[in-house]
Structure 1
Amino acid sequence: MQNGAIGIGNPPLSGHIKEKIATELARDIITTISEIEPEIRITIELEGYGFGTNHPRNPDELWEVNSATPDMQLSLEKALTDEPTKIAAGGLNRKISHIANAISKRFGNDISVVPSNEMTFLNITSKTATKQDTLRRLLDSQNTSLDNVIAFGDDVPDIDMLSACGISIAVANAVPEVKEVADYCTASNDDDGVAIVLERIIEQSHSQ
């Protein structure tokens, strides 16, 4: 769901929700971040499969890290001909809370800054983009509430959604904050934790 910025309802749900950041606002945010930390890696995500970056990767690394092909990778300037759904910043291998504070102070009325990876990475989205709200709006198409949802999460951007859903499950590699709000914990992503839970649910439904 790109931190709630884009939500697409698969049957039986319907709807296509887009919460974008205005282009000029995105430019100002990127300029501010770059002035504070010139070496920081910035990526902007667009609706669809393209993304812009100030640190282009070679084809092998691009596929391994982003599951992307070279034609999907754009320069920041070219990508900013469109309105991004998310701005991500990190790659310094240290905490960047000073950037989060500066961005929140200057642009906080229009955007949300959600840290992840122990404050070494920032997700910046429209103020109206949250996973909880986007999921709720998709569920409205079937008059279904979040109480009927099983949600999985591993990082800070998932907390609002996990807290609102009927059953919340953290994977074993989740950050401590996620495990604290989750009802249950499953195996890690690498050990197919989500699949394990879904298989058990299917098995139980067949046995009833």
Structure 2
Amino acid sequence: MSIQMIVTDLDCTLLRSDKTLSDDTVRILRQCQAHGIKVVFATARPKRTVIPYFDQVQADAVIAHNGAVIHVGEQTIHHCGIASDIKNDILLSISKDYPEVRLSVEINDILYANFDVTSLWNGIQQRKTDFTDLPDLPAEKIIIRVSSLDEMARYTRYLPENLYLEMNEELGLIMHVDATKHAAVARLADYFHCSLNETVAFGDNFNDVGMVRRCGIGVAVGNALDEVKAAADEICESNDNDGVARWLEANVLSRMAGQNRL
């Protein structure tokens, strides 16, 4: 099978534990691009925190906010957010019923929060708010600290049917039902005229399961959750051992080199 598109999660998948890309990873991704293969980052992060990695690799696209937004270069080709009035209702209702709960919301690539977010994300700029003064714009996602299934059930009751709550590293992400990584990958495949069957996806966490299952080859890194490994076709080395790069080198670049020698 030839590979037309590489889609990879960032944190705990492509990035090492110190949040850096190794020189080998950058080199191998660029070599794949030189062969005409698209490289896509798929992350729950906002684009502003992806830019350093984007610049290193010159990725062809970024799936941000877990699939709510798709960026190709400077162009936003898809946005699937939470309607402004619904966003306001959820934030005001939860903060009223649970005033101690830490809440934040991403609106137009700006983070608004009712607490000092540096306790969770060092170096991230925010706008402090009680959610009564938010801009009248849709939100990419609402973020709430969640540590158990019971807490997830508690907050899910505030959501209309077109939103869902997903847990990602003890954070609850409230998003539109159409904002998923696997739906975004399908959109990008159409945009780039690529086949999903000729796409490889790498991931480690719950929000990667859909794209790992849906793509032609789904690969879980060695440090992935068991649920991701169960959904994957293959398992590569861990993120700290450059698992994504090692897999691409062995299964994409080496095979292409072998074909060129024939």
Alignment TM-score > 0.5, same fold: yes
Cα separation, 2, equivalents of 1:151 and 1:79: 40
Residue type of the alignment partner of 1:85? E
Percent identity between the two aligned chains: 30
Q: What pairs with 1:7-86 in structure 2 (closer than 5 Å)?
A: 7-9=70-72, 16-35=77-96, 37-48=98-109, 50-57=110-117, 65=121, 68=124, 70=125, 73-76=126-129, 77=131, 80-81=134-135, 82-86=137-141
Q: Hey, what does 1:204 align to over in structure 2? A: 255
Q: What pairs with 1:173-184 in structure 2 (closer than 5 Å)?
A: 173-184=223-234
CA-to-aligned-CA distance 1:151-205 (integer Å, 9 cap, x gap)? 0111111111111110111112222211110111222223322222233322332
CA-to-aligned-CA distance 1:74-102 (integer Å, 9 cap, x gap)? 22448831321011211x6x32x234224
Residue type of the alignment partner of 2:189? L
Residue type of the alignment partner of 1:27? N
SS of equivalent to 2:78: strand
Shift of 1:126: 0.9
Q: Could you tell me the TM-score, scaled by structure 1's length? A: 0.78
Which of 173, 184, 194 in structure 2 is aligned with 1:123?
173
Which of 129, 154, 159 in structure 1 is aligned with 2:209?
159
Q: Is the 1:8–1:138 Cα contact (8 Å) retained in structure 2?
A: no
SS of equivalent to 2:241: coil
Q: Return 5+ residue gaps in structure 1 as ranges.
A: none
Higher relative contact order (CA 8 A, sep 6+): 2
Which of 91, 106, 112 in structure 1 is aligned with 2:164?
112
Q: Is the 1:170–1:186 Cα contact (8 Å) retained in structure 2?
A: yes
Q: Return 5+ residue gaps in structure 2 as ranges.
A: 1-62
CA-to-aligned-CA distance 1:52-81 (integer Å, 9 cap, x gap)? 2222245xx78xx3564x3xx222448831
Q: Could you tell me the TM-score, scaled by structure 2's length? A: 0.64
